[in-house]
Structure 1
Amino acid sequence: MKIKILALVIILSSSFAFAQTKLADKFFENYGYVKAIELYEKAVEKGKSDAHVLTRLGDAYYNNSNSEKAVYWYGKALAEHKNIEAEYIYKYIQSLRSVGNYEEADVWFKKLSEAQQGDSRLKGYDPDETDLFDKLTSKNDDIIVSIENLEFNSENSDFGSYVHGNTLYIASSRSDDNKVYSWNKEPFLDIYQIEIKDEDEGHQSYGSPALINADDINTDYHEASIAITNDGKTMYFTRDNTNKRNRLKYDKEGTTHLQIYKATLVGEQWTDIKSLPFNDDYFSTGHPALSRDNKTLYFVSDREGGFGQTDIYSVEINDDGTYGTPVNLGEDINTEGREMFPFISKDNTFYFSSDGHLNLGLLDIFKSNILTGEATTDPVNIGAPFNSGYDDFAYFIDNDTEKGYFSSNRPEGKGGDDIYSFSITECNQQITGVVREARTDIILSDVTVQLIDETGKIIEETTTQEDGVYIFDVECDQTYTILGSKPDYKNDKGTVTTSNENEKTNTLDLTLTPLLKDNQIVINPIYFDFDKSNIRTDAEYELENIVDVLRKHSEMVIKIESHTDSRGRDKYNMKLSDRRAKSTRDYIISRGIDASRIVSAIGYGESQLLNECSNGVKCSEEEHQLNRRSYFYIINR
């Protein structure tokens, strides 16, 4: 007998836990994470700790940004169950990192890498999953990049922007000199300076290009690609190798190479031009770039010992003005192709152009974190719209303004190479609305409004004031759920999908239905299976509104009435409705409400119909449904 009783207890406990899980799932799917957590944890107490419950608990805490609890439940799921989906392992790793447990996160990161080879989050790019060109040309809807072909571009080549103070320096072959370069049949390049004027309605304006203030920087041959020290007193620039009489110097094969020169600012003139000691007559050295502290000079060269056609090197600048030994940046940066036009931004990001790394065609602009030592030095293609199927190079950005320049020979330009300005802004929109009461349309204050992303994670929360207004700043091209809640009211929610139009305002009003009306707690109808009196999951979901009201109003006392339609025998309906009323009462008590607060739970069968659908009257299902109802009368508040 004891065995039978024990077995019955186990069966009842298991049944209860199963019901709790189904109800918890209902709340979870409707973003009711706090309630879902309560129910899932209650199910665990009753012995239900399968992978579904444990990972759902992890998700509920994860979506509510409670990393400590998420770590606990994900960890428990992984410890007790095999073959947990990789998605939960990833969230476990994220939660571990969130609480600073990097060592354990790394252990699981390795396990995930072994179990989930090709996961784009692990490698950044999965060639089996994502087409390279689609990825590089796809628009990032999180940011807006505005690109402009600048008004001062000429019909010839203009490139290599560099800003110091309010002056923009460029290389241009716009000269009207009859002497032309055989490569492109354009005049030789000179260095020009252009005044950057105050912004006009968000757009910068520019003065007219003028030759740089120097007596002997520009020659009859090429000058381009400059870098200026922080104090503005020293300039490095590229020039054809010339002798003291400014005539070209050639190697034994009759080739003239590039060299880097240094100039000093005296007053407003650049003078004292000197060739750097690591130049040579037998290979090219050019495209100078300075580190942020001006202690390292980066440059491009085709000298022997490199990896490809042109490589990027660095050389130390000593305090006494001398230079160290040039060092190749290595195979992480350099390839068998061309690496050119290095630039170091204020945030210490290393930019350069290459046709040797995977690209959209010809030179593309890449970035690397070799200067910060973070994560990996593998270059990242910065993608469209900066890169195209043509040469894209000479990237310059001011991190303070997120504005900059790059050069390209894309066909929509004015000349051979053109200079494009760009500005980077995040694409943002707003979601706003007013919360009102459903029955009276009055504005509601003190409503908690949550912003929920597509994964179900609550990312922001606000409370309405007297005007009932809520406002969220959101990202473009995303789908959000807005959930409004207030004690003694039913929740309301809606969905908004943002576009990629910057600064658009999306409107979504919410209406909350009060649970208290006159002397009743009013909820949606609770349904029973035919000829049954047990509480279904959808009924439990509605009854939780009753539980919430009774918890908030600790002195409230109620009575329950249950009614049926006229179908079936009168006496049977009376008994059936009474069983349903008492099942409803028992469920509320099982949720922790004291039994003394429910003075009665009585069924009235079909004795109090709301319409003419009595015995023998043909009525629609909707008309019969009107009579199948439960009331929750407030006896004492």
Structure 2
Amino acid sequence: MKKHLIIFFFLLTYNSVSAQKNSCTATDLIERLEYTKAIELLSKCIDVSSKNTASMLQLANCYYYTSNTGEAEKYYKLSYEAIKDKATHFNYIDCLRSNKKYEEANVEMKKFASKYSSDSRSTTFQKKDNYTEALLNQQKKYTVKKININSDRSDFGGFLIDSTFYFVSSRIEQNKKYGWNEEPYLDIFSSIRKNDTVFSQPVPVKELNSAFHEGPITITKNGKNIYFSSESFTVNQFDKIKNKKLKSGQVQLFTATNDNGIWKNAKPLPFNSKLYSVSNPSVNSINTIVYFSSNMPGGIGGNDIWKVTINADGTYGKPENLGPKINTEGDESFPFIDENNLLYFASNGRLGLGGLDIYKIDLNNESEAENLGTPVNSSKDDFAFSTFYNRKIGYLSSNREGNDNIYSCVPDCTNYYAAVLTDASTNQPLSNAKVIVTDTNENPITTLQSDKNGWIEFRIACEKTPYLKIFKDGFVTKQVAIAPTVDPNLRITIPIEPIAEVVVTDTEIHFNPILFEFNKYEITKQSKTILDKLVYIMNQNVAMKIFIRAHTDSKGTAKYNMNLSEKRVQSTVNYILSKGISTTRISGKGFGESEPKINCGDQCTEEEHIQNRRSEFLIVKD
């Protein structure tokens, strides 16, 4: 895929083809970007014992640009050892990653970081030198499958609007071939999506295609405007290199409008230039900004991500570089902006698995770019990621199987949960608490332990509703439902009640009384907290049996109060039973107003009445 990322201009010959074949050197072929022919020529005159460093570097670059990282690695190693060049060293490291030689790549990256410490690739590596293991082990976010319309040539850059799927391909045989890889020129195709991986027979979008390269494309949400890459030759913009008998052109951006399903009135964008390339457009959902890749002046690396504002009158602002949060000294390309202002892009200048990797960054805040990990990324070139929320589908391009192919990416829907456990009495973090996560049917999902800050975090499938069972010696066992965490930097607080104030004797359990509201028998929120402590004690002492004595105040008749106290017993028993305590271990009786805690007769204050509306707990001896 490097052929689509690194190409900044196109070269056409305008002299006799047969004369060229007789006179071309490898340097001539490379200047024409005819890397396949250059490899054929250089391979005949170079071996690993050759002392011709310049030729070895030429051969390494040719293999690199045609994605043969196995051969490129060999010749980069030899040429780097001779010339100690920064770009050659990093390309060598990239080849090692692409060939899954991650330990060797890290060794070389340490040398690179030591020598070029101010390079952003170096500073990032020094912060995360274990990045490879982390990327390979991070949770899978997508299921990736190859779609049915790939050919034996290059296919990439999928874009879905309604049921129409656009992409770029070199599948049509032509007399004229692109010297870079000896494939036909790229054209834009469309197909009808039937499901995630099955599409109708593709047809070329003839009104957009020319004799040169076209694509990839992006379309506004309303379907009225398309932006696409093409060559400046289509608008007769090129420079002549007379001594080489060549014409040089640039990749440029064009736009067209939809007229009853036909794209018409194609025109170049005003910031195109003969001096630099602009390509790989992506328009935001409200058609106010176009993102693109370019090597125009003012960038950070070879190819950067830029944006340009679309004004209300249809004119364009001045292109803006997206800066070091996104761009590196390497190459960044294939931006895709989704409806939530998340930007996806491909880069070979960050810590990845090899070649181009796909990254995501939230443009709404100051977040860091995130590598999407496997299986979206591989050790090869992965690029042109697009996602469409209304269909819950995305598309990825990759040369992981040799050719550039398109793959569907179905999100593996998981929700993120994060909480901090605290001591309810002190608000201090509760460390080393055991947390069992279950589903609604109490089937275990995972078991966690809170860290020194009381933090827990986990992910589960979106269709599951998790419940937490929290255990900690000296604290009431708690079961609680938990909602997904919207902000990954925030945690909900779950206070856990201590049981330190509970005293258990041979005959009674003493703690804060269970109190009831006037003329009611429902368990209050405060009483539930106290009863949870009782349940904890009973779970810790499996032979313990409890007898409940419920009381009322002296208001009302004795008969009414006796009936009310029985209801208070039953509601207390029912709550304890709901926590899993056996019916054989809990019983009780109501005593009405016959045994007041404060014997104040008809002179009771309201506070004294409250103290008399209570339950007491006795230990039953067999």
TM-score by length of 2: 0.50
Structure with bigger RCO (C-alpha 8 Å, 6+ apart): 2
